[in-house]
Amino acid sequence: MGVNKTPWRKGEYSSTKVWLVGGAVWFAVGTTAGLGSAIHLVAPDFFANISSLEFGRVRPFHVNTVLFGFVTATLIGGGLHIVPRVLKRRLYSEATANLGALSLNSGALIGGIEILTGRTQGREYAEYVCSMDRIIVIAFILLGIVTVMTIVRREENLLYISAWYFSGAILWTIPIYFVGNVMWNPQ
């Protein structure tokens, strides 16, 4: 009997592991960027003449990395752990949830690189360019499908409030993110 050592495969709770590990990596990257941003406040010339490490680029990189990479990923990882337990049903599709993780992490990575190179929308907490916004919305659509289908196929008669909150958070994030990032008017 072989043990599935790769967390991104089809095993139960594999998506939880992928989301939480991704969140941990983004935590390290984001807090390191926050340290670089703090160094700028104490020693403004520390990274002189390195345009990608200027305060105006490092701070938005830090904020977006922590927001989308760390906070979002760990909350989703927690939700993907809780929902199947309270519904007494495995997730509808671990592979789809893992694809959502790949989508969000790709958006955070490429979006972060673009911020460091100076390519942004110029809106605080919405610096990612529209193409990265689309990738992040795709991640939430995939998660919405997984969550709703898990709820529809549940074996528990009661629908616990945690499942309501998690599914509501995922489903409401899609239109709110679309409107908040003015995705119909890409810059």
Q: Which helix (H) or strand (E) holds 97?
A: helix 94-116
In a domain, 157, yes or no: yes
In a domain, 115, yes or no: yes
In a domain, 84, yes or no: yes
In a domain, 2, yes or no: no
pLDDT tens track for 44-77 = 888 888 888 888 899 999 999 999 999 999 999 9
In a domain, 3, yes or no: no
pLDDT surpassing 80 at residue 184: no
What's the CATH number where 63 sits? 1.20.210.10
In a domain, 103, yes or no: yes
In a domain, 65, yes or no: yes
In a domain, 9, yes or no: no
Does the model's pTM come out above 0.95? no
> In sequence order, what DSSP letters do the residues of 69-81 get, joined into one string?
IIIIHHHHHHHHH
Q: Work out how many domains the chain is built from and give that number.
A: 1
Find how far residue 134's CA is from the centre of its chain.
13
Q: DSSP code of 68?
A: I
User: Which domain covers residue 176, as residue numbers?
Assistant: 14-180
- Residue 111: exposure state from Cβ atoms within 10 A (0-12, 13-18, ≥19): buried
Which candidate, 180, 107, 110, 96, places its Cα nearest to that of 141? 96
